[in-house]
Every structure is written in C-alpha cells, then in structure tokens.
Structure 1
Amino acid sequence: MSVQKLDRAVAVIGMACRFPGAQDVDAYWSNLREGKHFLDRLDESALRDRGVPRDRYTREGYVGVSGTVDGVEHFDSSFFGIAPAEADTLDPQHRLFLEEAVHALEDAGWAGRAAGRRVGVFCGSGENRYGRLVPEPEEAAGSHRRMSDTPAMLPLRVSYHLDLRGPSVFVSTLCSTGLTAVHLARQSMLAGDCEIALAGAVSVQLPREHGYVAPQSAVLSPDGVLRPFDRDASGTVPGSGVGVVVLRPLAAALRDGDRIHAVLHGTAVNNDGSGRQSFAAPSVVGQRDVILAALADARVDSRSIGYVEAHGTGTALGDPIELAALREAREQTGADTPCAVGAVKSSIGHLDTAAGMAGLIKAVLCVREGVLPATVNHRELLPSADLGGSGLYVNTRSRPWPDLGQQRYAGVSALGVGGTNAHVVIGRHVAAFEPGAVEDGAPQVLPLSARSTESFHRLRERLADALTGGPDKPCADVARTLQDGRMPRELRRAWVASTLSELSTRVKDETDPVAAGPLEAAVDPGNAVSPDPSLADRIPALRTALEHPDRAGRAFLLGHAALEELDALGVRFATLIAHGAGEYLAAAFAGALDHDVALRCAMRHEAIRAVVQEGGDLSVAEEYLAAVTDDLRAHPPTGPDRALRSLSLGETVPAGCVPSVDHFLDVAQTSVMPDGPATFPAGAVDLMGALSSWENWLALAARCWERGADLDWIRLRGGFPRTVDLPLYPFEARRHWAIDGPALTATPAPAPAPVAPMPAAVAEQDVPAVVVAIWESVLGVRDIEPGADFFALGGHSLVAAQIAARLWERLGVRVPLGDLLDAGTPEGMAELVRELKASAELYGRLTTSHRADLTESFEL
C-alpha cells in the first residue's frame, strides 16, 4: 500500500452485533455461510403468546413475520452503573447499543484503555417506540424521562458510561444512518478530532416485532418474503438489530499490533436533491455519484471491486434503480470484471437505521475470509434490470472470492428515504510485517474481572474453553488482549503463567474473584535479596541500587526503586507497613523524610544492629544513634502522603499527619534490641521478596491489580504483542421491561402508584426511613442501607432532582440540589433534611415573634 493511501486508510479493528438469529459476529457469519434466514413466521399460537391482540392479527393484510432480536427486554444495568428504575424505562435501543459498544471495544482490544482518551462516538437509532408504550412518569420524574427518551442521548450515554472524550455525535439519515455514521467517524479521525472512533446504529421495531400490516402498493412484503433484485420481489420485511465497528487510522493500528479485520479505504455521502420522482423516491444519478465519489476517495480501481453489498430492499421501485446506478458507475470507470452483488436483508430483514451496519459487517467478513455467501430468496433477476456487459451478477450461492489478484475490495451501499446515499469501499488487510513479539515462554500476567461473581465465573469458563478448544495463540498475545482489551471491573483475579496450558489449568480453578480494597505493602529491607538479573534489566533503577557499596544502603535503594517502579505502574499503596530500617525507607517513599537522610538513618540503623548482635563496642552504637538524632533534628519530618504503620513501635502515622522526630528516634532505639523476624499482616504484599525473580515481581503486580490497582500494562510487559480473539464479556440478562406482559406486547402497563405521603408525626420521628423509602422508589433498588453511596447505585443529578421533589412533597423541605448530591447517602440526606427543617422552624418562630412585637407596638 502506498504512503498516500496509508495516510487516509482506516482500519476496522473491532466489530460487534446482534442481529436476528445471531447474538454475535461469529454466529452472524456462520448463518450467512450456511444461507440461513431468520425472518420468523409466527402462527396464531405464537402470536397469542407474544401478546398480539386478536383484532390485530386477524386484520386483513396482517403478516406475522419479522426479523427479531432476542432479549431486548434484558440489560445489565449494574455493569453501567444505571439505577434499575431508570433502566426499566430506558429505550431498549440505547441498552443494546451500550452493551455492543463494550463488545466492539473488547473485540478491538481497546476496552481496557479507551477510558479518558479521545475516542469518538458516531451513532444513530430509530424512533423510541418503547417510550410511547411505557406508563407516563409521575410529575417529579417527568423532565428526566423526557430527556432520557430523546434518541439523540444515545452517543452521549455511550461517551459518559465508557468515559470516552472524543466527539459524541448523533446521526440520523434514516436507512443510511449506519454508513453515514461510519463516514463521519472516518472524517473525524482524518481531521484529528479523535484517535479512535465507535460508529454504528441500532433499531428495535416495537410493537412490530411480531408482524405488520401490509396494505396494497406499500413497500412492505404482503407474503413476508424479502426477495432482493428478484423477478417476484414484492416488498421489504422489517427487522431489528444493532451493529458497531471500531475504527482507527491504519498506520496507528499497524504500529500497535491491533487486529485488523479490514481496511476502510474510502467513503462518500450525498443526497439526491430534487432530481427524483418524489421526496421518498430514490435517484439513479445520486446513487451513481456517491459510488464514484467513494471510489475516488479510496483511490481504488473499480475493476478490482469483487463484491458489492447492496441496499437491496426487495422493492419494485428501489431495486431496479440501485442496479442501474451500479451499472452506470462501472460504465463510467470502465469496469467489466466479475463483481458479485448481494443483500443481507433477505436473511434478517430491513433493519432501518441499522441496515447499513448489517451490510458493512457482512462485507468486512467477506473480504477477511474470502467467501461470498448466497443471497437468500433470489431466484431470477428482475426483468427491468440490464446487467449485460457490466460484470455484475447477483450471487445466489456461497462461493470463494473472485480471483482478482491477492487484494480483495468490496463496496457497501446504504440508501435513506429522503435521498441520503452512503457508500464505502473496504479492502482486505494483508500484513506486510509483524510487530516485534514478546519472547514466547516468558511469564505473563493474565487478568480477568467482572461486575458480579456470576458473570466472572461465566467469563472464566468461556476463557478456559477458548484456551483449550480453539487455535493456539501466543501467551503474550492472550495476556495483552486481557490486559488492554477488557474493562477492569470490581471483582478480579489474575494469574501468572508462561504457557496457555498452564493458564488454562489455573483458570479452571473455581475460586471466587477478589474484591478491591486498600493496598498495604510489607517493607523490610532485612529480607532483601539479590534481584534476578532479568528483573534488573527490566527495571534499570535496580541495577543502579546494586552498585551501592554498603549492604544496608543497597537494600534501601532496592526497596525504594521497587516502590517507585510500582508507583509508575499505577500501584497506590494506602499503607506502608515497615519494620526496622524499612521504616526509614517507607518514610522516604511516602515523603515524610528526605531521601538521603532516610538512607543514612537506615544504614546507621543496620550498623547499630550489627554492633549489638556481634557483641561489639556499644560506644560505637551510641555514636551512630547520636548521628541519627542530629540528622533527624536538622531535617525534621513532614506529612506522609500515605499511612505509615510501624511494627517496631506498634503505632500508625496517618497520611498527612506529621510524625514527630521522637517517633523516628524511638525507631532507632529499637535497633539495639534483639528481635525475631517481623510478622506482617497476611494481606500485605511482600515488596522485597518480589525482587527475587521476574515471575515473583509479576505475581506482586497481579496481586496489586486484584486489589484495585489499575496497572500500566504496556510498561509492565514491554514488547509488542498483538490483539487476539477471546471471549467477550457475558452481560447479566436482567429483565428491565416497563410494559406489562411479554417483552413484545404493545399494551402499556398501568402507571405505578405514587408513594403515599407520610404523616407529619411519623415524618418528624423517622426522617431516615422516609429518605430510604424515596431512594428505593426512585432508584428501583430494595433494602438500601443508610450508608449506601448514591452514585454507586446509579444516581446522578436528574435522579437527585426527583428525590428533591419527593422530599418537598413528603416532608415540605426544599433541599438545594448541590447539597443533596454532596450528602451522598441516605443518612447524609436525612441529616441535611433535619437541619433544613430545624432552620425553617427556627426562622418561622423568630418571624412570628417579630411580627407580634410589631403589631403590639403599632396598637399602642
């Protein structure tokens, strides 16, 4: 590929989807390869089970066929920190897209490192049909619901919940929304607005999930069969789905070892304007021109295009125009080489805003795998289409990619009602070189985490199966994918292994994950060992420490270098638990003592111990003690940035609290007293013992990660491993459905009864109970504890506004929103309410008294 093309090429590094009959990309490709279709035809019994009213499915022209996505009523709200009550009313399209955005980033190997970076989000959704079916909210929640129901909130939600800092843009061009989003995402990256981009679209058809009414002369198929470009084509069939891709400049993807599914070479978007029969009619000229513009942008010879994934709606008006536009575009570029045409809609239905994503993901898989799946339901070309001499043919059987040389190029079209046309040109990625690999057989940290214990074990089991049943992968590549490619969640386990068989054995262990907690380090230079040479090679400061001539000084510098390296990796110890000379080391690292002063004190401390243990001249020990005293008085301690726990003295200096000089003098005095080995708490990590080998160092890092440290994996592992295919996060299928009855029912549920006001006498006595009851109602969470964290339960400012409104309704107290958010817990809010009530009552009494005085004076 030329430098000119490389500068504008964009890699597709991640994909995720949920389409009819397919819960992920692998299932989607398998279905396409096998020529399956998933337009469900429901009989009367199935329609009744789905809650379809009889007067609907017996209506003339009713067709009980649709491309449905399973589980639209399910959502893992806790994974995203969304309160259950909010999740119940959230548009299912937003819920699906959030989960698939995570899966796409995982597939790209970026879910663990995207947070806080300039990652753009360009996406669109269909109408929020769900919002029209759920009960109207009470007045206090009305403004929140109205904002939440807005389709344009979709990219903003993704950016917020995944902490993505690039442009966040809602796209809506109806049926061409998905490809338009891809075009805008690519343009944004080329302009430098973002370094990575999520692009996609989602559409959930409600209540048409269970069928539709097809009047004569409409675009909907009267027999429920979608036949692209076929003589018997009679219309389209609606479907639901979501598709997301992750895009990155090709040069950056190659540099960092990203897995590249395909390369996006060119994109174009235009509109037919008024040059068409009517507003809703397509135009040959507009479609032809957008294809030519995309080819020009890609700088790809149209004769090398071996496949076009067409819009192919199976309508009498749209299909002939689309084929005519393809033919004219090829004629103008002189292309007559074989070029297959396909359309996935006959397999899964017309996915409306997500239609282009289904086509793009299919085309990416085609160029990657070198296979062209059959176009289902196409038997004979429609009579009005003339493809003679163009090289175009509708692909009716699964076949290998046409032999046009090593490169494979494909085009993808999406055409929107209203005239917005989009076309992209993609190509197969042929690796010209491999990034430098990490030494195979070296130990690696392999982390795994989840939001719940159930999800953790499901993910652990899937990983174990993938490691034993799939193609062999370098252990370093698996480690990199788990480290960078997965979002670190609250429950964690990490293993150190050198081979996949070793890892597989350890992953099969059903031990529960570890919950994050404060990190404590055991600091005892007396346990210092000579570091493994490979460890010293990886941490240069260790080699510098080894050059110190004094044994005690060498141990101090080794420990300090280890603490600094851990800090650089992202480990933040809450407490340093130290013994003997290690107390000076801990104090130096925590900022309580000057480094050089602490080093001298540590060396003198060990010198005193040596004198005492060897029965030497005690006056020498006294001279060392005096030197320690002089040094500490000349350079008094300052406040440490973390807690220091002294095993020698049995006391703790809290973070920020300045220890006295006498504290360290007392430590020095302990050096003259014989003692046994220090006994550190079981939960503290052994700092000095980890220096004995690279594997032990990795085990220490793994343990720190398990307790909540977010490690700089690139610094830890070194080298340039690649992203590989591994199981994606198994979201918990929690039902969030505010419509009464089955998930696909169109009958709204009755509105929930408002919380009854509490009698004034009770409210006076039990304000905390009122606050907890309001929290449980607004958040949809049961058994909330008085100290529960508002934000951890999915709260935010709009939810707090609902709480404030209910506090006014129930207790007659107006609580400022900022104060309410600062309170943060039920007990905090209850205390705030009590204070405000007391202030209001005092003000009322004073005002009443003042008015009485004025009135009496006036009458006198």
Structure 2
Amino acid sequence: MSVQNSNTAIAVIGMACRLPGARDVDRYWKNLLEGAHFLAPLDTSGLRSKGVPQDRYTREGHVAVSGAVDGVEDFDSSFFGIAPAEADTMDPQHRLFLEEAVHALEDAGWAGRAAGGRVGVFCGSGENQYGRLLPEPDEGAGSHRRMSDAPAMLPLRVSYHLDLRGPSVFVNTLCSTGLTAVHLARRSLLAGDCDIALAGAVSVRLPHEHGYLAGESAVLSPDGTLRPFDRDANGTVPGSGVGIVVLRPLADALRDGDRVHAVLHGTAVNNDGSDRQSFAAPSVTGQRDAILAAVADAGVDPRAIGYVEAHGTGTPLGDPVELAALREAREQLGVDTPCAIGAVKSSIGHLDTAAGMAGLIKAVLSVREGVIPATVNHRELLPSADVEGSGLHVNTRSRAWPQNGLPRCAGVSALGVGGTNAHVVVGHHVAAPGPRGTDGAAPEVFPVSARSADAFHGLRKSLADAVTVAGDMAAADVARTLQDGRMPRELRRAWVTPSLPEFAALLREEAAPVPAGPIEMAIDLGSAVRPDQSLTDRIPAFATARDRSDATERAFLTGYAALEELAALGVRVATVTARGAGEYLAAAHAGALDRDVALRCAVRHEAVRAVVRGGGDLSGCEKHLAAIEDELRAHRPTRPETALRSLSLGETVPAGTELSVDHFLDVARTAVMDGGPTAGPGDAADLMGALASWKDWLELAAWCWERGADLDWGRLRAGSAHTVALPLYPFHARRHWAITVPDGTAADPDPTSRVEPEPEPVPGTGAQEDVVAVVMDTWRSVLGETDVEPDSDFFALGGHSLVAARIVARLRERFGVSVSVGDLLDAETPEGMAGLVREQQASAALYTALTAPRGADSTGSFEL
C-alpha cells in the first residue's frame, strides 16, 4: 500500500522550537541523540537569586527542579515594531512564539514571501501567568493590558506582525493543544482555506526556574524525575517551551522546490466524552479510536509505523491507559510487528499546551534521519502494562530505524486533560531525483538584511561559516533561500557572484549594510552598449531593441525596456536623472510623454548634437528643433509619476508637478550648445551601464534591493532552485521583564529592566516648545522608548490605536483638552500632536472669551 498520497499528503516544510536545553531544532536533535535531559536541579542560592521566597523553597514538598526554557525574559521588540513599554507587559509566550514563527518560516524558505499571502496560523498557549505577576497598570493602560493579556491574541499577533492573510485561529485543548492545532491546520489546507499554515503551541510556566510544590497536584513527581512507562514512575515534571511547524500541500511543495522534512499522512482528534472515571481521567477507548482514525485517514500500511512518540507523562494513571490504547489499536489493525515507543517528556518535562509539538518535531526528525532516540529514565516496564504479543516496546537507547521494506512512519499522540485526544501519522519523504540548483554556471544575487547593525554582522559571519562547509550545496539554492526565505529588513547588503567560495570571502569582509533610501536612476544614452546574449536570452524586450540600426533609437528603446523591467521586478524609481536626449526617455518612463513621441524627440535631439559636433551648418538644426516643438505642441506633456532631474537645465521637477512644453523646448535648445551628456549624481545608479551583461543587470537589481526595493526574485533566477538549511535570524536579545517580588524589588534584578515611569511635569503653560516637550515625554513614558525627537514617527516606534488612547488620556490630564484618537494617529509626530493640543487650547480660549459674562473685560488677547 502506498504511504504517500499526493492528494492529501501535507508536507512539513519548516520547523522551529525553543525547548529546555535547546534554542533551535538542531540543538534539540543533538540532545536527543546524546540521551541528555534538561530537568535542571536548582540550589538554594540559585532560588534566592531568582526571588523565590524562603518559605516556599523550604516548604515540605518543594521540588527544586525546573524544565526552563532559555531567554524567556528577552525579546527583539524592534524587529516586530513593538514599543518597548508594550513588550515589557506582553505575555512571554507571545514573544517567544513570534520569534519562533519567523524562524519556522525561514526554515521553510518562506519568510521573505509569506507577507500578504494566504498563510494560516493555528496555535495555542497556556494561561498568561506573567500578566498576573505584573504590577497593576494605571487606569489609562488598563484596557490595553486587558486586551493584550488575552491568550487568544496569540495567532492574531502573529498574523498582524508578519502580515499573514490566511485563517488565524486560537486553539486550546490543554495538553493536546499542539497536535490539535496541527490537525486543524492540515484540514484548512486540504479545504483550500489557505496555501501554507503555521501550526504550533507555546507554554511558559511562571514563576520561572522556581521549582514546584509536588503536594499541589497528585500528578507531579515528588523527586523531580519523570519516568515514562516505568515501574517506578511517580509523576510528571513541568517544563516550558515552544514548537512550530510550517505545513504545505506536498504537491505544491515539490513543485516549488521546498525542503520537505517529512509528510503528514493523517491526523485525528476526538474526545473521551463521559466514558471515563472522572473529568480528568483518561479513557482507553477514546485514545484507541483517535489512533485508529488517524491511521485510517493516513491510508498507510500499519506495519510501516515503526515508532510511536507517546504522550508518556510518567504518571501511574495515565501511562497504563495509553499503553492499553496502543495495544488495542494494533490488535484491531491486525499488527504485531515491532514498534518502538518513546516519550520526550523525560528529557524536557511536560510542556502542557506545547507538549505535542515537542513530540511531533522529535518524530519528524526521527523519520527524516532514520534514527529512534532513547527515552531517558526508563528502566523497567510498569507491571500493570500488558503489551505481550503486541510488538510494542519502550526504546531505551538511540538506534537506527529498523528496515522492514516499508517507508518509515511514526505515530504521535497528545492527550489533553478533559478528554481531547489527538494523533498524527508522519512519514519519511522519499525525494525523487531531479534537477538541483547550479553552482558556478551563472552569477546569483545573495541578499542579506537585518534590523540592527549587530544582527547584520552576526548574520554575515554565521552565513560565511555555513557556506564554507556547505558540502554539495549549490550557489543557486543558497541564493534562492536568502531571496525568498528571509524577511527583508531595513539594513541591507547584496552580493553578486557565481560561486559559494567567493560569496563566503565577500561575507568575511567588513562590509557595512546599506540603509534604505530613495532609488535614483541616471540615464546617459550616449554610454549605451548593445546588451550581450546573456541578457537578451533572459529578457526578450532587450533583444527587440538590440538590432535597431539607429544608435539613439537602440539606446532609447533599450533604456525604456530596462526601466519597464525594473518596474516589473518591483523597483519603484523615485527620481530619474538625465541630460539631453535621455530626458525624453525619463519623461516617457514617468508617464509625462508618450513613448513614441519621446523617441522621435530624442532622435532629433541627437541629430542636432551630431550637426554641432560635426561643425555643420547650424541652420540645419532649426528644422529638427521645429519638429521637436511640433511634436510637443501636438502631444502635450502631463504630470510625471516620478521626479525628473534635468542636468541640462539644472533643475528638478517633483512628481505630480505640471510640466510645460517650454521645459522640453529649453532642453532641446541645449543640444546646440552642449558638448555632450555627463554622468548623473554619485548616489544614482547608471542604468545604461547595467545593460552590458547579465551580471551587470543583477548588480543593478541588487543595488535597488539594498535601497529598499522588494524584488520579484523569480524574474532574476535562471533555472530551478531549492530551499536549503541556512543560519536563522539572530534576534537582538533585549530584556523585557517587569515582574516584581513582594518586597517591591524587581525579580531577577537587571539594570536594563524598565518599569514605565510617570512623565515629569514640564514648566510652562502653553508655549510651543513646552507642549512639544510634554508630548515627547508622554511618548517616552507610554512607548518606553528613550530616543524620541519632535519629528519621530509614532508608528515606527511601535505605536498603534490602543497606545494612542493612552496618550490622549495623558494629554487630557495635563492640558485639559480632548483630542480624538483618529486625529492623534493622523498627526504621527510629537510636533503634529502638539499642534492638535494648541488648536484645542486656542478653541477653548476663544469659547471662554465669547461666552464671558456681559460687562466682563474682553480686551484680553488669546491665541488663534
């Protein structure tokens, strides 16, 4: 029986996680292979330094063990455009999930092209324990905090900050949340609701690294050791973590060269109903039926399932029920072939809502690599388990996947308190032989970008290391992954080269990133060359102009085709700089002149210059100048869509400005006096010089991307390419932690942590500079951002309508004026907001004067 139905198979094309002992998927896999576990013991001094009250860690039943995830207090708020003050109060679960969502899309090779696409988000989180530990917000911040504190905001935040346009659904079935999210994401893909889906879950237990009280729950281990399916199992150990997978229909993934980690063949979710001893008790029947439904949905030969990543909580009640359900499912399927069982919880703890994601990622890696990792802390099967004759056995050492002639498949279970059971069948993807990206055959564009200079240089160095040891990785594949697989940020640099060794050498140079800025093109028709074969083969429009006999005609049409192709690539030119005949081409591109009219004017302009250069009778120029005037009078110029910089006249015409016939007549007359076109400004790209070869054209495209153009990279790729594994974005870790302990000091003290300050009163009662200063102070307080200037952009600093509402409240309290949130958002800068305040003050003063009692002194002045 086939185990790869391309009609219903869903590919896992990307993964990301942050788990105890592992900040990424690679480290997680290494830990699993090494049989390591990260339920770390905490000593008394460590507990004290974390702010744990003495009466807690000395209490009977306290277990000083923590399955903590690293960096829970850190977040790169600026990457997502979130104000620091808002980041301080955000649920750490949301912060972790946002960063790992980016990493998952990068691993999938989709971070650069997901924005604006039909990408769904299906995810869940634990309760927001962080919000309960924060100081009470002031009244103005209360509504904002209440909204942002809600767990259900998680998928909505991801969709907003990453501009994902598919379904955005919060999922919570407690301990089975992660796999339930995967099931819903898969169903959404099969229904056509989205083209790609992120599915995952996050759970952060707080207070962080404090240990736990075993006596608070009958299921917590009193000795801090989790022993899945073991005779000495005495309970589970809590942990924290996040896991995300990126899913796509297999046929689409294969068509587009996505990297396929594994394939989801089937999923199922059900509930135990009332068929159990109590609400919190598990049910053999419910778990068995979920497994059978997932296997039926997968349509695979049950004998191919050689491994099951079980829920395996290490509890005396849950583990026997789970083993019984697995045994009954295999009996009904008629399978007794060997099948290993494992449970990662003994290594990292029970991650609550994220538990299933840790198990799924482990299973995906197992089927991909053909290795079944050991389940630590298992010594002897629990006596109540009856697996005799079922083929089931707990895997206690890392071993190669047994060969049985069938493709590798694994089952993954997650079981939620309250009875929601989820099961997934995941299989090894057997890649079909096919064309791979080339190396050294043609130049490629390798773009690198970051939000900060530190992140840029860190990424540059890690990429240099990665491509140096890339093995058989192809340059085209690396280029494609960087182009489509990374989110373009503000600081950019791009290199053009045909080989990875040369790319690595270029990366190792201390190259500064290029900040975004307006794109300016310089046109010199006199410097035009015939595009070579490498260019005309790829862009047919150049071939059309290449064989024109008239040099000016050929240069004009080639330049026009180049500007059109740049526009199709996604380049928005802000200013076109030209001189002489090139100015007609610039005007045609800007929409100010009809292309054919501009072409005829350019040819006649060059004819005038030819007469002047040849020392001919200048009276002959009059006919050409008159013909140019007739053309322009008959086809009057319109407003240009881009700015036009005339080097002939030494002036710039802004976009949208009325252009007169006289402007172009003045340009035409310069042909009589001009010695020839000159190069444009130093900050403009030489358009005509980029047409010599394909490499030169790529250099121009890379130059445009560096300055902010979001390119259609597919137009620059010569052939098929595939996504490959490259270093992920190095988020800039900035501490965002505002929890205090009962004595009022900050938990986990750190000099960089901030608690939102109240704005200092500013002297003065209405002078312009005082109002601006108050607004700037209010921004600093509400946004938590110190770098605020009078012309700072509210949205660039992470502002939004809820933050604006808090600023409105502060301004009302300070000045006694009422400004609408909409007007405040339109103002955008402190200067603009201060102007609104002054307008309100002036209106109030006018009203007071006009409504003063008769006889009152009305000779006073007020500001209008």
TM over 0.5: yes
The residue that corresponds to 1:793 in the other structure is 797
Shift of 1:852: 7.9
Any idea what the Cα deviations from partners look like across 1:686-721, whole Å, max 9, x if unmatched? 100000011111001101000111000011114220
CA distance 1:797–1:752, shift in 2 (3 Å): closer
Pairwise CA RMSD? 1.8
- The correspondence of residues 544-563 of structure 1 with structure 2, limited to 5 A, is 544-563=544-563
Counterpart code for 2:384: S
SS in structure 1 of the partner of residue 74 of structure 2: coil
Q: 2:766, 2:591 → 1: CA distance?
A: 53
1:654-678 per-position Cα deviation (integer Å, ceiling 9, x unaligned): 1011211111111111112242550
What is the alpha-carbon distance in structure 2 between the residues aligned to residue 41 and residue 117 of structure 1? 45
1:370 paired residue number:
370
Partner of 1:856: none
Matched, 1:776 2:774: no
Shift of residue 22, structure 1, vs aligned partner:
0.2
Q: CA deviation at 1:434?
A: 2.4
Q: Which residue of 1 aligns with 2:334?
A: 334
- Give the secondary-structure state (helix, strand or coil) at the position aligned to 1:111: coil
In the alignment, structure 1 residue 483 sits paired with structure 2 residue 483: yes
* Native 8 Å contact 2:439 2:498 kept in 1: no
Paired residue type of 2:449: S
Paired amino acid for 1:796: H
Paired position in structure 2 for 1:638 = 638
Q: Indicate if the aligned counterparts of 2:437 and 2:475 stay in contact, CA closer than 8 A.
A: no
2:678 aligned partner: 678
1:101-500 residue pairs with structure 2 within 5 A?
Answer: 101-207=101-207, 209-215=209-215, 218-435=218-435, 437-438=437-438, 440-500=440-500
SS at match of 1:246: strand
Distance 2:793 2:150 in 1: 28
Structure 2 Cα separation of the partners of residues 206 and 267 of structure 1: 32
2:712 aligned partner? 712
Against the structure 1 CA distance between its residues 838 and 443, is the aligned structure 2 distance closer, same or farther, given a 3 Å change threshold? Answer: same
CA distance in 2, matches of 1:208, 1:619: 89
643-652 or 732-741, which deviates more: 732-741
The amino acid across from 1:797 in the alignment is: S
1:201–1:357 contact (8 Å) kept in structure 2: yes
Matched, 1:846 2:844: no
Partner of 1:857: none
Cα distance change of structure 1 residues 712 and 128 upon mapping to structure 2, 3 Å threshold: same
Q: What is the alpha-carbon distance in structure 2 between the residues aligned to residue 604 and residue 28 of structure 1?
A: 70
Q: CA deviation at 1:681?
A: 1.1
CA distance in 2, matches of 1:97, 1:763: 46
When residues 764 and 516 of structure 1 are mapped into structure 2, their CA distance, relative to the original with a 3 A threshold, is closer
Gaps of 5+ in 1: 854-860
CA distance in structure 1 between the aligned counterparts of 2:39 and 2:46, rounded to whole angstroms: 14
| Cα drift, residue 620 of structure 1 | 2.7
Instruction: Indicate the residue corresponding to 1:70 in structure 2.
Output: 70
Write out per-residue CA displacement over residues 88-132 of structure 1, whole angstroms, 9 at most, x where no aligned residue: 010000000000000000000000000000100000000100001
- Report how far residue 437 of structure 1 moved: 3.9
Q: TM-score, normalised by structure 2?
A: 0.96
2:810 aligned residue: 806
Q: Deviations over 1:716-770 (max 9, x none)?
A: 1142200000000000010000013676699xx9975643555663678711111
Q: What is the letter of the counterpart of residue 603 of structure 2?
A: M
Give the Å deviation of 1:216.
8.3
Contact 2:761 2:774 in 1 (8 A): no
- Return the alpha-carbon distance in structure 1 between the equivalents of residues 263 and 79 of structure 2: 32
Cα distance per residue 1:9-50 (max 9 Å; x no partner): 100000000000000000000000000000001121221122
User: Contact 2:3–2:300 at 8 Å: present in 1 too?
Assistant: no
Structure 2 counterpart SS, 1:200: strand
Describe the SS at the equivalent of 1:45: helix
Q: Secondary structure at the match of 2:268?
A: strand
Contact kept? 1:545, 1:558, Cα under 8 Å: yes
- Residues 655 and 344 (structure 1 numbering): CA distance in 2 closer, same or farther, change over 3 Å? same
| 8 Å contact kept, 2:524–2:677 | no
Taking a change above 3 Å as real, the CA distance of residues 276 and 210 of structure 1, as seen in their structure-2 partners, is same
Equivalent residues of 1:52, 1:745 under 8 A apart: no
Determine if contact 2:78/2:451 at 8 Å carries over to the other structure: yes
Q: Which moved more, 1:237-246 or 1:216-225?
A: 216-225
Aligned to 2:532: 532
Q: Give distance in 2, aligned partners of 1:177 and 1:532.
A: 58
2:841 counterpart of 1:837: yes
Q: Is the 8 A contact 1:288 1:326 kept in 2?
A: yes
- Which segment drifts farther, 296-305 or 29-38? 296-305
Whether the aligned pair in 2 keeps the contact of 1:255 and 1:435 (CA below 8 Å) is: no
* Alpha-carbon displacement from aligned partner over 1:517-554 (angstroms, at most 9, x marks no partner): 01100111111101111101111111111232321111
Q: How far 1:847 sits from its partner (Å)? A: 2.1
Report the Cα distance in structure 1 between the residues aligned to 2:855 and 2:268, rounded to whole angstroms.
75
SS class of match (1:143) = helix
State the AA in 1 paired with 2:799.
Answer: G
- Judge which range, 774-783 or 221-230, deviates more: 774-783
Work out the CA distance in 1 between the residues paired with 2:787 and 2:593: 47
SS at match of 2:6: helix
C-alpha separation in 1, matches of 2:428 and 2:333 = 22
In 2, the alpha carbon distance for the partners of 1:670 and 1:760 equals 58
Q: CA deviation at 1:783?
A: 3.6
In 1, Cα distance between equivalents of 2:126 and 2:331: 36
Distance 2:291 2:356 in 1: 15
Say if 1:267 and 1:297, in contact at 8 Å, map to a contact too: yes
8 Å CA contact 1:135–1:751 kept in 2: the answer is no
Instruction: Give the SS at the match of 1:538.
Output: coil
Q: CA 1:716 to 1:750, structure 2 compared with 1: closer, same or farther past 3 Å? A: closer
| Whole-Å separation in 1 of the counterparts to 2:334 and 2:718 | 50
Q: What is the alpha-carbon distance in structure 1 between the residues aligned to residue 780 and residue 642 of structure 2?
A: 37
Give the length in aligned residue pairs.
851
Aligned to 2:55: 55
Q: Bigger CA drift: 465-474 or 713-722?
A: 465-474
Deviation at 1:209, TM superposition (A): 2.9
Kept in 2, the 8 Å contact 1:222–1:234? The answer is yes
Query: 2:505 is aligned with what amino acid?
Result: T
Distance, in Å, in 2 between the alignment partners of 1:536 and 1:620 is 37
**Contact 1:110/1:486, CA 8 A, preserved across alignment:** yes
Deviations 1:279-310 (A, max 9, x none): 00000000000000000110012111010000
Q: Distance in 2 between matches of 1:213 and 1:794?
A: 40
Aligned partner letter, 2:797: L
CA contact 1:209–1:239 (8 Å) conserved in 2: no
- Following the alignment from structure 1 to structure 2, what is the Cα–Cα distance between the partners of residues 681 and 483? 29
Deviation at 1:823, TM superposition (A): 0.2
Name the CA shift for 1:624/1:677 in 2 (closer, same or farther; >3 Å): closer
Q: Which residue of 1 aligns with 2:590?
A: 590
C-alpha separation in 2, matches of 1:3 and 1:576: 58
Change (3 A) 1:588 1:216: closer
Identical aligned residues as a percent: 74
Distance 1:131 1:612 in 2: 79
Matches of 2:3 and 2:41, distance apart in 1: 51
Q: Is the 8 A contact 2:579 2:677 kept in 1?
A: no
**Residues 126-161 of structure 1: CA deviation (Å, up to 9, x unaligned):** 010000111111001110000010000000000000
1:817 and 2:816 correspond? no
- Say if 1:207 and 1:744, in contact at 8 Å, map to a contact too: no
SS in 2 for 1:423: strand
What secondary structure does 1:242 align onto? Answer: strand
Query: Could you report, residue by residue, the CA deviation over 1:293-340 in whole angstroms, capped at 9, with x for unpaired residues?
Result: 000110012111010000000000000000000000000000111100
Which amino acid in structure 2 is aligned with residue 829 of structure 1? M
SS in 2 for 1:232: coil
Structure 2 residue identity aligned to 1:816: S
- Residues 466-510 of structure 1: CA deviation (Å, up to 9, x unaligned): 111343310000000000000000000000011000000001111
Preserved contact between residue 588 and residue 594 of structure 2 (Cα < 8 Å): yes
